[in-house]
Structure 1
């Protein structure tokens, strides 16, 4: 019996919360606000909403349809369409497993800051604190030592991930999602509401939303919108497909897609308002120009925000732990999603129990994550993140789209999608999947490859080469292994 058949959500609520947990992650909190600001402000909502309509919703519907119809692991699905396609499944799940590996390192940075937020041990120089204690720098001479707080955090978080993931999906991921996702929304909701009342909040929001209509003529703005939707919703990474394979028979698939997409978008838009309200407060009270505060990723969360909390007084002592706790909750639920494709697919292929598969993967993952906790931690994570997403996952999303639409036939999924759903899909959805999305994804991949390699340094190319060789070797090995049940 396959792992997919042994596991099932006890309700659509468990599935929806798990999917929201997989979608709502670090990118929603620290990336979207910067993408919105730097790509035309208020005018960016036009390509953003269009990207949701023709990329986010249609592709998630496809993934739900595939997973729900087959109720098998990803490699079995691909193999059943054509045995030659099984290696595509293994390449994808290996890339997504790599995402889990470096994602846990980023979560470890957050865990260190969560602990530091009770005493503000980052001091007055948040940038130096991050470099020296948490994320390191791009100086390769620093690769010879470990950042101990980050190293300890990685071990702790992998133990937490194992504790949740080795259980049956409903008792593990499902139960945790029911706790962490509502808690995440409550915490972030409180932070956002308070941020909107801060002096200077209107300055921040005005800076965020001021439209630049001329940017709508720039193709890069549109590509940025589609890229945000793909990675914000974790599209094409087999997460939605695997989660959908655990659904009971009477599920309203399309309704669930719309709920997840709407929840994800509302969360990141509201969070952007909160982020820029806080930046506006810093600009007005600290006399720092907004342009000097606006950044994304680690710079925003681990450098700019601690600076802001330092000047907020007693309320900063409350907001700092809450923010880093919210990031931790969002990150853990996303990490569970990233681990699941490899967990399901490897366990099914090797005939291992979920507990055994989770244990082996978490040990291997933890050891590999530890390699990224040296004095060049943030530099390595940045290299791997760019390559895995811009080269690997984006290409494989396009390949999946072509395989499901043309080699299997996307119309085969329509009965399962429409049977219980309130909203229906048909010819227009099929045409989008077959023609429009592959073209968009090919253009995105080409642009991404050009940007990725045009300025890459020798060390970065070496890391990229190690990743692609490792992925291909293990994909071939796993493809050739005879399934345990044959």
Structure 2
């Protein structure tokens, strides 16, 4: 008998879990900077176009695949076609790589949550972060010098993540999402309200929303918009496909997708308001223009914001709110990333959840603890992150769409499946967006990134580091995906071909 598929207890839990996955660290520290540097208020035009023509259509594609074929990415793609299984393992491999380093950033946020109480970073947050906290060695290309201050919170992140996953889809992931997603919204809402009352907040918001309409003729702005949407919705590397496989037969898929997509974008805009109101305050007290204090990514979170926190009245509370929000946003995304790997191992080997979680989690945690709480961990993380997102995810998305839409010609079938259970009906526009517009944009992004990385390397870092942890990691993922696709399944051929939903969680 086929192993029973786990199920969400209701559509609301699924939506909360999907939002928890989509709303991650990038929403807070990447979107505001991308919008600001690509036309400010004018950026919302290509952003909305990208959301409607790529983000939501790809989300619907993931939902249709997971819901119709009921399984982890390898099983879903195998049910599409036996030779397509490799695509599923490629997605799992990318999730594995991302999970290994994503946990480290959550661990940093946990430490900074506690640092906020006494503003432990002192008067020089940049030096504190790189030298005192991470203890980075500028002279070393790669070294395994142990950094306990990072290793112990990282270990805690892995223990907590695996504890949630052991309890399963509903009692673990679902229960966590029901608590953490509303809590994240409340925490970040309070933080945004506080930031709006800071001196200079208006100047920051003017900088964020002031439109530069002339920039809309620049193709790179449109590519930036598609890139932001693509990376922020957790599409194309197995998460939404896996989550949708736990839904019942008659779940409204497109309605749920619209809620998730617009909730994610709303949070990004809210993050932009909070971040730029705060940066406006920083510019005001420093006596400089807003553009002189704007940062993105790790520098914004762990250098710029600590400096701002130290300078504002009641800064400790602001820091607790900010880093608390980072921890929650990162943790809910972390759980979803590792769940992709766990589900794949469960399906392939036919083992129970506890053994799958401990096996996948154990290997992930060991690699994570070996590579990143080290004196060269920051550079390794930077390289792995760039290649996983800009080459790994984009590459597998392009191949998956090419196989599903062009080689197997399954878009009409998937469209009918979505329409059979959903309130918002799809038509030829969806097929054009998925089969033509999205792959064209992805192909341009992938080719541009590959050419740039070959010509210029990455970030001025040593070529050995880039080759090993950038190109090497992505090639290894593909090689392992090929090997795993030839590994025998523990299920019978009848079970592998079965694609109908089980009755568990039906009629949600």
Which TM class, normalised by the smaller chain length?
over 0.9
1:375 deviates by: 1.3
Partners of 1:81 and 1:408 within 8 A in 2: no
CA contact (8 A) 1:78 1:85 kept: yes
**1:409 maps to 2:415:** no
Kept in 2: contact 1:112–1:134 (CA 8 A)? no
**What CA distance in whole angstroms lies between the structure 2 residues aligned with 1:236 and 1:113?**
31
**1:458 maps to which residue?**
463
Alpha-carbon shift at residue 253 of structure 1 (Å): 0.4
**Who is 2:220 aligned against?**
220
How far 1:485 moved relative to its partner?
Answer: 1.8
Give, in whole Å, the separation in 1 of the partners of 2:451 and 2:215: 21
Correspondence 1:225-244 to 2 at 5 A? 225-244=225-244
SS in 1 for 2:168: coil
CA contact (8 A) 2:69 2:79 kept: no
Match of 1:251 in 2: 251
Between 428-437 and 180-189, the greater mean CA deviation after superposition = 428-437
- Residue 39 (structure 2) pairs with residue 33 (structure 1): no
Aligned equivalents of 1:137, 1:196: Cα separation in 2: 35
How far does the alpha carbon of each residue in 1:151-202 deviate from its partner, in whole angstroms, 9 at most, with x for none? 1111000000000011220111000000000000000001111111211110
Distance in 2 of aligned mates of 1:38 and 1:135: 29
Question: What is aligned with 1:149?
Answer: 149
SS in 2 for 1:359: helix
Write out aligned runs for 1:272-311 (5 A): 272-311=272-311
Normalising by the residue count of structure 2, what TM-score does the alignment of the two structures yield? Answer: 0.92
2:425 paired with 1:418: no
Structure 2 Cα separation of the partners of residues 454 and 284 of structure 1 = 40
Hey, what's the Cα distance between the residues in 2 that align with 1:400 and 1:224?
A: 22
Deviation per CA, 1:239-292: give whole Å up to 9, x if none.
111100000122110000100011000001011011000111111123243223
8 Å CA contact 1:2–1:348 kept in 2: the answer is no
Is the 8 Å Cα contact of residues 2 and 72 (structure 1) preserved in structure 2?
no
How many residues are treated as equivalent by the alignment?
484
Determine helix, strand or coil for the equivalent of 2:117: coil
Q: 1:164 to 1:307 in 2, by over 3 A?
A: same
> Match of 2:110?
111
Cα distance in 1, alignment partners of residues 2 and 470 from structure 2: 34
Report Cα offsets for 1:410-441 as digits up to 9, x if no partner: 11122331233221101211222222222121
TM-score, normalised via structure 1 length: 0.96
In the alignment, the residues of structure 1 paired with residue 116 and residue 416 of structure 2 have an alpha-carbon distance, to the nearest angstrom, of: 52
The answer to whether the 8 A contact 2:73-2:91 is kept is no
Q: In 2, Cα distance between the equivalents of 1:121 and 1:287?
A: 25
TM-superposed deviation, 1:146: 2.0
Shift of 1:351: 1.1
How far apart, CA to CA, are the structure 1 residues paired with 2:442 and 2:144?
A: 39
List runs of 5+ in structure 2 lacking aligned partners.
Answer: 493-508
| Bigger shift: residues 407-416 or 226-235 | 407-416
Structure 1 position 476 matched with structure 2 position 482: yes
Q: 2:421 aligns to what SS in structure 1?
A: coil
Shift of residue 133 of structure 1? Answer: 3.6
CA distance, structure 2, for counterparts of residue 133 and residue 237 of structure 1: 35
Query: Cα distance, 1:73 vs. partner?
Result: 2.1
Equivalent positions of 1:102-141 (< 5 A) are 102-137=101-136, 139-141=138-140
Contact preservation (8 Å) 1:133, 1:147: no
Q: Cα distance, 1:342 vs. partner? A: 1.2
Task: Provide the C-alpha distance between the structure 1 equivalents of 2:228 and 2:117, rounded to a whole number of angstroms.
Answer: 33
Deviations 1:372-422 (CA, angstroms, capped at 9, x unpaired): 111122211110011111111101101111222121411112233123322
Deviation at 1:138, TM superposition (A): 7.0
- Confirm or deny: 8 A CA contact 2:72 2:238 kept in the other structure: no
Counterpart-to-counterpart distance in 1, 2:204 and 2:166: 44
For 1:59 and 1:347, locate their aligned partners in 2 and report how far apart those are by CA, in whole Å: 25
User: Which SS does the other structure have where 1:118 is aligned?
Assistant: helix
State the match for 2:500 in structure 1.
Answer: none
| Bigger mean CA offset, 11-20 vs 76-85 | 76-85
Moved more, 378-387 or 464-473: 464-473
Distance 1:237 1:149 in 2: 31
Match of 2:362 in 1: 363
CA RMSD in angstroms comes to 1.5
Q: 1:437 to 1:201 in 2, by over 3 A?
A: same
Match of 1:174 in 2: 174
1:61 is matched with 60
**What's the secondary structure of 2:143's corresponding residue?**
helix
Deviations 1:12-69 (A, max 9, x none): 0110000000000000011100000111111111110000010011110111111111
Q: Distance in 2 between matches of 1:238 and 1:341?
A: 6
Deviation at 1:300, TM superposition (A): 0.5
Is the 1:109–1:135 contact (alpha carbons within 8 Å) kept by the matching residues of 2? no
Once the 2 structures are TM-superposed, how far is the Cα of residue 452 of structure 1 from its aligned partner? 2.7
Q: Name which of structure 1's ranges 31-40 and 339-348 shifts more when overlaid on structure 2.
A: 339-348
Deviation at 1:2, TM superposition (A): 5.6
Counterpart of 2:503 in structure 1 is none
| Distance (whole Å) between structure 1 residues aligned to residue 481 and residue 420 of structure 2 | 36
Matches within 5 A, 1:83-94: 83-94=82-93
What per-residue deviation string (whole Å, max 9, x for no partner) do you get for residues 187-235 of structure 1? Answer: 0001111111211110001111222222111111111100000110011
The residue aligned with 2:428 is 427
Give the structure 2 partner of residue 11 of structure 1: 10
The answer for unaligned runs of 5 or more in structure 1 is none
Provide the residue aligned with 1:48 in structure 2: 47
